[in-house]
Structure 1
Amino acid sequence: MEYFSLEAEQAVIGSVLKSPELIYETTLQPDQFYHSGHKIIFEQMVELRDSEKKVDFVMITAGLGELIQEIGGTGYLLQMSQSIDTVANFTEHERIVREKSLMRAGMRAIHEIYGAGYGNPAEFSAELMGIAETISDQARTKEGFVHISKGLENHYEQLQEKKYSKKSLGLSTAGKALDRITGKWQKQTLNIIAARPSVGKTAMMLNNARKNAGEKVTVAIFSLEQPQNQLYDRMIAAECNIEGERIKTGQLRDEEWGKYVIAYAEMVELNLYIDDRPGLSIQEIRSAVRKLKKSNSELIVYIDYLQLISGGKKFDSRNLEVGYVSTSLKQMARENDCPVVALAQLSRGVEQRQDKRPMLSDLRESGNIEQDADTITFLYRDDYYDKATEKPNIIECIVAKNRNGSVGTAEMINLKQYGKFLDLDITHHDLPDKRKGS
């Protein structure tokens, strides 16, 4: 297979020579041309365009000066302009040049990482997958402007579906009160659930995932911290109202075995997948989600937890790596048309304040999380810090950011022995600028 097309490159240049206005419509760059002479010519065309000068045969020839001989002289330019009968196929020729350029870039990148001599197979694999992701993203056909008539037609159909369909809009969170504040998990959104260790992030995720799976949605869980058997222990405890310690030890009473058998029969029917490989790179996660999405149109992805995902390549700082992962998760939500819910750890700064309720500023040392997320929900338990609290077994779900809705706090009952959350149906709505931190 050839990684260039001289004919397509000649057709692009010939088309611009024939109809100079095309230089203002193309998004091609000079370095996307393979032939050195074509690269020089197109670079001159772009230079004339950017300096607001006329892009025609005379100006191009004058601008090239002595370089004209390197590209075959004025005769070669004339030959290309005269070889084009019509510019109707300009977009197709442009596409071929772009795709060939992407293929060459991919091959160069592969040679570079091969020459770098990675000693770690996982890092080598992540680099390769990163190249594949980049090429795939750039090669994907992108629709530009959409006329308002088409856009409003789609909007009208969606509004009708919302009004008359009995289908739930968005995917449920763990509780009704939290649903009302967040507006549920929407497609193409990145949703963060953050807290200090041992507050209940994983339990909240599993409660959410079980609820979504019961709504006939495919659920994907990436558990980078705990093996899947530990997640099954926790899911069964919450499902059957059996103390987690009894599940771990297997010391179940007869009636508890009966509960387990019933729950087992129900849960094996759920469309729920768990990937518990530690140290996954963001490229591996995106690849796995793409494959799952092909056979499952309704999908939600959970990740436990964000800071454990590898960026798959070298970064100058940990903050830059976490920011890269966060942005990639948002892109993954968009490209797969599904909600992504990622757990996140908070900085120790929470512990230094008198009021230990988390704020957005507690995320700031973690790259672009605050910027990329559509919703950010903090979990706070007063009994985590104060055993004599007046609010035992209550967890506050603090929605501190909601790009498309309100912010506020939903209170839920936290049955820690079962790892289960129940509706208390208490909400406190905040003003939009509250709890943003300093």
Structure 2
Amino acid sequence: MSYYNLEAEQSVLGSIIIQPDLIYESLLTEEEFFHNDHQKIFGAMVSLRDKEIGIDVVTLSNEMKDELNDVGGVSYLLQLSQSVPSVSDFATHERIVKDRYLMRTGMRTIQEILNSGVNDPKELAAELMDLSESLSDQSRSADGFKHISEGIMEHSDEIDRKKYEGQATGAGTVGKDLDEITGKWKKQTLNIVAARPSVGKTAFLLNNAVRNGKDGLTVAIFSLEMPDMQLYDRMIAAECNIDGHRVEKGELEDHEWEKYTLGLSELSQLDIYIDDRPGLSVQEIRSAVRKLKKKCPELIVFIDYLQLIKGGSKYSSKNRNEEVGFISSSLKQMARENDCPVVALAQLSRTVEQRQDKRPMMSDLRESGNIEQDADTITFLYRDDYYNAESEKKNIIEMIVSKNRNGRTGTAEMVNMKNYGKFVNYDRAHIM
């Protein structure tokens, strides 16, 4: 197949000269034309449209000025208007131009990937799959309108579901008050849970993963920091109410073996998948999630943690903020394209330690990039006894919801049973 179609490009331009209003329907951009002359002509048409000047041979000639001779002069513009078989085929010819552009883009991007020095076949496969998805999305009809009657019926179904199930849609957390504030982790959302090291981020993630598994969701966990055996230690300790240090050492007391066996049996029934490969790129994560989504429609994704994800070989260590921004926007896209919640842990910078009030703020997100912009919810975990040995809030975690795109903000409190790595409700919330 040819990477361009001369006749289709001519027909698109000629149709607009014959019927100027078609410029308002066109979904093409200047760069999507293969021929440089056609790019210039279409660019002049767009310029006239933006100036609200009618398009014809005279106005085009005046707009193009010196470039007119470069494209063949007035005679070529007249030739374009005479080469149109039928204006009614405008959309078909425009589609051909678009498809050829996507072919050229795909081939060029493949060559760039091959020339980028990627030497990991898994990263190469993920990059190519990402490209495939991108081209597929672009090749779909650009008319994304849905008639209100369709949306209203879907809304009615959703209201009925809430009425009979008695709860908001989305994946619930282990915090009853936290759910009340956030409205749960909804599909197609990126949810950031951030804290300083050793505050309890991973334990919170695992508690929620088990909760969602028990609710019937398929759970995907990407553990970039910790091997899967350590995750099993923590999940078993929390599920069985056994001291985590004894689980880790395998030194269970006699009365704990029965709890261990029962807990192990319950956990093994849950639909939880763990990928503990270190140094994963965001393309590899998206690829893995797409595959799992095909098998398991009701999915939630957890990532521990965001700043350990790589943006791919095109980023260097010198532009880490830009890379993290690319990663956060990619995770948001992943949530939307797979119709699932994505929950990513994030580290906070040391600036927290320099303030008298150690409660985290948005500016404390390390290498924040576009995290604040991309996230639908941002929840900070704060332990007062982490900083103040005399704190009255022993073993109390504050869940500070600082951003909630579709709901309220506020603070919920939970009890952190540190020996078990377990979060339990405290029934105290401050909702704004």
More displaced stretch, 326-335 vs 163-172: 163-172
Q: Which residue number corresponds to residue 396 of structure 2?
A: 394
SS at match of 2:231: helix
Q: Which residue number corresponds to residue 89 of structure 1?
A: 89
Q: Which residue number corresponds to residue 314 of structure 1?
A: 315
Q: Deviations over 1:226-284 (max 9, x none)?
A: 11111111111111111112222222234433222222222222111111111111111
After TM superposition, the structure 1 = structure 2 runs for residues 57-206 of structure 1, keeping only pairs within 5 Å, are 57-60=57-60, 77-78=77-78, 80-118=80-118, 128=128, 131-166=131-166, 169-206=169-206
Tell me, yes or no, if structure 1 residue 303 matches structure 2 residue 303: yes
How many correspondences in the alignment? 430
User: What is the CA-CA distance between 1:149 and the residue it aligns to?
Assistant: 4.3
CA 1:42/1:303 → structure 2, altered by over 3 Å: closer, same or farther?
Answer: same
Q: Which residue number corresponds to residue 34 of structure 1?
A: 34
Q: Aligned equivalents of 1:388 and 1:64: distance in 2?
A: 76
User: What is the CA-CA distance between 1:335 and the residue it aligns to?
Assistant: 1.8
SS at match of 2:353: helix
Tell me, yes or no, if structure 1 residue 411 matches structure 2 residue 413: yes
CA 1:389/1:75 → structure 2, altered by over 3 Å: closer, same or farther?
Answer: closer
More displaced stretch, 196-205 vs 362-371: 362-371
Q: Deviations over 1:361-390 (max 9, x none)?
A: 212752122222121111112222233432
More displaced stretch, 70-79 vs 401-410: 70-79
Q: Aligned equivalents of 1:9 and 1:170: distance in 2?
A: 47
After TM superposition, the structure 1 = structure 2 runs for residues 355-374 of structure 1, keeping only pairs within 5 Å, are 355-363=357-365, 365-374=367-376
Q: Which residue number corresponds to residue 285 of structure 2?
A: 285
User: What is the CA-CA distance between 1:124 and the residue it aligns to?
Assistant: 5.6
User: What is the CA-CA distance between 1:391 and the residue it aligns to?
Assistant: 2.2
After TM superposition, the structure 1 = structure 2 runs for residues 211-360 of structure 1, keeping only pairs within 5 Å, are 211-312=211-312, 313-314=314-315, 317-360=319-362
Q: Aligned equivalents of 1:364 and 1:344: distance in 2?
A: 8
Q: Aligned equivalents of 1:234 and 1:289: distance in 2?
A: 24
More displaced stretch, 369-378 vs 119-128: 119-128
CA 1:108/1:198 → structure 2, altered by over 3 Å: closer, same or farther?
Answer: same
Q: Aligned equivalents of 1:413 and 1:135: distance in 2?
A: 48
More displaced stretch, 249-258 vs 369-378: 249-258
Q: Aligned equivalents of 2:32 and 2:297: distance in 1?
A: 36
Q: Deviations over 1:280-322 (max 9, x none)?
A: 1111111221222222221111110011111112255221111
SS at match of 1:88: helix
More displaced stretch, 57-66 vs 206-215: 57-66
Conserved in 2, the CA contact under 8 Å of 1:8 and 1:97? yes
Q: Aligned equivalents of 1:66 and 1:347: distance in 2?
A: 56
Tell me, yes or no, if structure 1 residue 6 matches structure 2 residue 9: no
Letter in 2 for 1:385: Y
Q: Which residue number corresponds to residue 436 of structure 1?
A: none
Q: Deviations over 1:409-432 (max 9, x none)?
A: 211111111111111111123x4x
Q: Aligned equivalents of 1:119 and 1:220: distance in 2?
A: 27
SS at match of 1:55: coil
SS at match of 1:413: strand
CA 1:105/1:237 → structure 2, altered by over 3 Å: closer, same or farther?
Answer: same
CA 1:8/1:269 → structure 2, altered by over 3 Å: closer, same or farther?
Answer: farther
User: What is the CA-CA distance between 1:72 and the residue it aligns to?
Assistant: 6.3
SS at match of 2:87: coil
Q: What are the ranges of 5 or more consecutive residues in structure 2 without an aligned counterpart?
A: none
CA 1:149/1:271 → structure 2, altered by over 3 Å: closer, same or farther?
Answer: same
Conserved in 2, the CA contact under 8 Å of 1:193 and 1:377? yes
Q: Aligned equivalents of 1:409 and 1:166: distance in 2?
A: 23
Q: Which residue number corresponds to residue 48 of structure 1?
A: 48
CA 1:356/1:269 → structure 2, altered by over 3 Å: closer, same or farther?
Answer: same
Q: Aligned equivalents of 1:406 and 1:39: distance in 2?
A: 48
Q: Which residue number corresponds to residue 421 of structure 1?
A: 423
More displaced stretch, 285-294 vs 137-146: 137-146
User: What is the CA-CA distance between 1:82 and the residue it aligns to?
Assistant: 4.1
More displaced stretch, 27-36 vs 374-383: 27-36
Conserved in 2, the CA contact under 8 Å of 1:395 and 1:414? yes
Conserved in 1, the CA contact under 8 Å of 2:168 and 2:183? no
CA 1:372/1:63 → structure 2, altered by over 3 Å: closer, same or farther?
Answer: closer
Conserved in 2, the CA contact under 8 Å of 1:133 and 1:283? no
More displaced stretch, 363-372 vs 158-167: 158-167
Q: Deviations over 1:100-141 (max 9, x none)?
A: 212201211222343444566676666555544543443344
Q: What are the ranges of 5 or more consecutive residues in structure 1 without an aligned counterpart?
A: 432-438
User: What is the CA-CA distance between 1:334 and the residue it aligns to?
Assistant: 1.8
CA 1:39/1:390 → structure 2, altered by over 3 Å: closer, same or farther?
Answer: closer
Q: Aligned equivalents of 2:168 and 2:295: distance in 1?
A: 21
Q: Aligned equivalents of 1:167 and 1:389: distance in 2?
A: 36
- What fraction of aligned residue pairs are identical, expressed as a percent? 61
More displaced stretch, 58-67 vs 193-202: 58-67
Q: Deviations over 1:148-197 (max 9, x none)?
A: 44443433333333234456522111121111111111111111111110
Q: Aligned equivalents of 1:362 and 1:161: distance in 2?
A: 39
TM-score normalised by structure 2 residue count = 0.90
Q: Aligned equivalents of 1:217 and 1:385: distance in 2?
A: 36
